[in-house]
Structures are given as C-alpha cells and as structure tokens.
Amino acid sequence: MIQHRKATVVGSTVLQDQDVEAEYEVTLRFNPGGPAVLGAWSQLETAEQVFMEWLGLYGREGTVLTLTATAGDATCLVKSWTYEGGLQAVGAV
C-alpha cells in the first residue's frame, strides 16, 4: 500500500487526518455472490471516480457494486449500489 492520510476508524466511519497507509477498493459483481472484478487505489477520489464509471457502464439488474476503505486492520463499507436498492452511502470518509 501507499502512504496516504491517517484513517481513524470509529464504527463504520473512517476519518482521515494524519499520515497512515490507506487503501480503497471497488468491487463489481454481475450477480450477488458471483465472481468479482476488483480494483484498489490509494486515493479515495480515484476509487470514487471508478465506482461511478463502473456504475454507469455496468449498473443493471443483478449488479452489486461496493467501495470499501481499509486502514490498518480495519475495513469499512463506504458506499454500495444495487439495482433494487440504489446508491447507499454507508460510511463517511
């Protein structure tokens, strides 16, 4: 992982304020529980851009798209999208 900002994990919220290694992962599944396409970035802005691009390209019935943040040993769901549920902002970064 690449040095980024400090992430303090509180419940499902990641607060960034100092230096620490952080990684943001976007996961795309065409069917719930099916095989996944993964991408990981050190910058939240890049991961969010890819999340929205993949949503525009592949967002249809059955698709599951998630964005997670990992800092140290803690991982939290930042946002997710399904056709049925729409966009859900779960954790704040």
Q: By CB neighbour count within 10 A (0-12 exposed, 13-18 middle, 19+ buried), where does 17 fall? A: exposed
pLDDT higher than threshold 70 for residue 1: no
pLDDT 10s digits, 2-36: 433 444 443 444 445 445 689 999 999 999 999 99
- In this prediction, residue 56 carries a pLDDT of 97
More confident residue, 12 or 81: 81
pLDDT 10s digits, 59-80: 999 999 999 999 999 999 999 9
Residue 8, phi then psi, degrees to nearest 5: -100, 120
Distance (Å, whole) CA 12 – CA 53: 24
Other C-beta atoms closer than 10 Å to the C-beta of 41 total: 19
Distance (Å, whole) CA 49 – CA 28: 14
